[in-house]
Amino acid sequence: MEAAQIAPSNRPGEGAYHSRLSDLLNNPDKQFLAITNAFVEVLLDPEMKWDAPFLAINKSVVTMVRATKE
């Protein structure tokens, strides 16, 4: 998969560990982001989309993060 949009139903770190998303992305001790209940859509193939109960995303492949709603 070359490029995908991932929309979690909660922000990473929500729950037991509270932190700003920027703190999670810049933490050198954490290599992966745990994402739960996400909708994934492959940008180059709009037909390829699915619900994912859990994703472990390597931070090194994250190129852009933006808020979709507050």
The predicted structure's pLDDT at residue 20: 76
Separation between Cα atoms, residue 65 and residue 67, nearest integer Å:
7
Amino acid at 6: I
Cα 43 to Cα 45: distance, rounded to the nearest angstrom: 6
Of residues 43 and 13, which shows the higher confidence score?
A: 43
Do 56 and 27 touch, CB atoms closer than 8 A? no
Question: Can you give the residue ranges of every domain in the chain?
Answer: 1-14+31-62
For the entire predicted model, the pTM comes to 0.70
Q: What is the pLDDT of residue 17?
A: 52
- In the predicted model, is pLDDT for residue 27 greater than 50? yes
Residue 35 CB partners (closer than 8 Å, separation 6+): 6, 8, 12, 52, 54, 55, 56, 57
Higher per-residue pLDDT: 40 or 22: 40
Over the stretch 32-67, which tens digit does the pLDDT of each residue have? Answer: 988 889 999 998 998 999 999 999 999 999 888 887
